[in-house]
């Protein structure tokens, strides 16, 4: 386990071991897409139109414990000790039922999860959440699954989670059906100086959830086929850039692909955007810094916050400049992280 992978004290340990012989624990780190997944061919199976490619990061992760009960107790899902109900819990239970059907296993589950994503990072955590849940499920039932199978399982919960099974750089191969759509590791311990600064410009919940945003561009944007073509090319170029350890090419491809994705959103009917005024300010600052010789690049997901790719030597300068213009915007820094870790308890 990585040093950040701490086992949370989620349940009373003694009674837990006495009463629940079947339990699993897993930790997965969040990943940030460098070439984005933005559009599903099949919503139910979460099959994407294109491959995508990401960097799993070290400081943001989710730890989840799954206990299989057969003592008649009701199912339970807790996040940081608080019982969760409503749509978020429904999504989790639907997912669990699907996995149970798939593997022919049964039992009532008690799920406890803890997100270690600093609020100030403004990062969504569905990638680490569903990868950790898939891992804890597999560990609890002692399923004989390899990492590609785990990636397929995670994908069914949230597409981006398919990539969090691996550390470092990974690529989600779009595939054409449930069996072929899974992520593979590209380089789990990259020998490359790459840092990611998450700049939080806004705390309000995202205006359009990813699933809906994707659906809208797939169904209505006349430019969607162009996005598919450009993104497929970007994936191949990004993979080569990673092989060459070429930070400049990685940054350029990542920034352009993010701009393409956000431009595509404006072309949906009706158009939409995740940009807030301060988002543009950060994007401009990144370009200004680079033009002045401080190499850095921006990327954004389905929200208004900006992630800046930079090498260690330039990190302080980037932070200082953003702070100068936006002193109230928290900046969280991280580097490459490790893949899914699972333990059967």
| Interaction of residue 302 with ligand DP6, rule CB under 6 A | yes
For residues 210 and 221, which CB has a smaller minimum distance to ligand DP6 in the complex?
A: 210
Between CA 114 and CA 267 the distance in angstroms is 37
Between CA 325 and CA 4 the distance in angstroms is 32
CB of 157 to ligand DP6, least distance (A): 7
| Interface positions, 187-246, toward ligand DP6 (CB under 6 A) | 210-211
Range in contact with ligand DP6 (rule: CB under 6 A) among 155-163, 196-204, 313-321, 325-333: 155-163
Nearest to 135 by CA among 162, 115, 108, 160: 162
| Interaction of residue 33 with ligand DP6, rule CB under 6 A | yes
What residues does 336 pair with on adjacent strands? 57
| Interface positions, 112-131, toward ligand DP6 (CB under 6 A) | 126
Of positions 115, 128, 151, 160, contacts ligand DP6 by CB under 6 A:
160
Q: Which residue bears the tokens 């900006």? A: 306
Instruction: Transcribe 211-279 into DSSP letters.
Output: HHHHHHHHHH-TTHHHHHHHHHHHHHHHHHHHHTT-HHHHHHHHHHHHHHHHHHHHTSSS------HHH
Total residues in contact with ligand DP6, by rule CB under 6 A = 14
| Interaction of residue 22 with ligand DP6, rule CB under 6 A | no
Between CA 189 and CA 3 the distance in angstroms is 15
Between CA 323 and CA 320 the distance in angstroms is 5
Range in contact with ligand DP6 (rule: CB under 6 A) among 16-24, 31-39, 238-246, 290-298: 31-39
CB of 68 to ligand DP6, least distance (A): 25
CA 40 to chain centre: 16
Of positions 36, 116, 152, 262, contacts ligand DP6 by CB under 6 A:
36
CB of 333 to ligand DP6, least distance (A): 19
| Interaction of residue 62 with ligand DP6, rule CB under 6 A | no
Q: What's the half-sphere exposure (Cβ side, CA atoms, 13 Å) at 87?
A: 1
Instruction: Point out which residues bind ligand DP6 (CB under 6 A).
Output: 33, 36-38, 46, 52, 126, 158-160, 210-211, 301-302
């Amino acid at each position: 386990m990585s040093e950040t992978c701490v086992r949370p004290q989620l349940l009373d340990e003694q009674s837990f071991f006495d009463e629940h012989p079947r339990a699993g624990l897993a930790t997965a780190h969040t990943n940030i897409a460098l070439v984005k997944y933005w559009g599903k061919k099949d919503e139910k199976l979460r099959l994407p139109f294109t491959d995508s490619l990401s960097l799993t990061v070290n400081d943001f992760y989710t730890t989840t414990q799954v206990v299989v009960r057969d003592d008649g107790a009701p199912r339970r899902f807790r996040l940081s000790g608080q019982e969760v109900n409503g749509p978020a819990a429904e999504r989790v239970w639907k997912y669990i039922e699907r996995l149970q059907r798939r593997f022919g296993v049964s039992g009532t589950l008690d799920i406890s999860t803890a997100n270690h994503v600093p609020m100030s990072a403004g990062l969504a955590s569905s990638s680490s959440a569903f990868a950790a849940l898939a891992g804890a499920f597999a560990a609890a039932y002692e399923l004989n699954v390899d990492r590609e199978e785990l990636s397929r399982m995670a994908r069914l919960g949230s597409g981006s989670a398919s990539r969090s099974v691996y550390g470092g750089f990974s690529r989600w191969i779009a595939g054409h059906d449930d069996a072929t759509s899974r992520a593979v590791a590209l380089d789990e311990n990259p020998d490359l100086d790459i840092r990611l600064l998450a700049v939080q410009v806004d705390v309000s919940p995202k205006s359009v959830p990813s699933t809906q945003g994707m659906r809208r561009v797939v169904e209505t944007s006349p430019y969607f086929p162009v996005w598919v073509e450009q993104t497929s090319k970007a994936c191949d170029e990004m993979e080569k850039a990673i092989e060459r350890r070429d930070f400049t090419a990685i940054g350029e491809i990542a920034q352009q692909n993010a701009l393409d994705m956000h431009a595509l959103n404006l072309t949906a009917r009706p158009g939409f955007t995740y940009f807030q005024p301060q988002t543009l300010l950060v994007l401009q600052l990144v370009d200004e810094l680079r033009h002045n010789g401080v190499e850095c690049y921006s990327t954004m997901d389905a929200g208004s916050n900006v992630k800046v790719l930079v090498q260690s030597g330039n990190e302080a300068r980037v932070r200082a400049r953003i702070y100068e213009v936006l002193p109230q915007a928290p900046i969280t820094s991280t580097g490459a992280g490790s893949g899914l870790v699972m333990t059967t308890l």
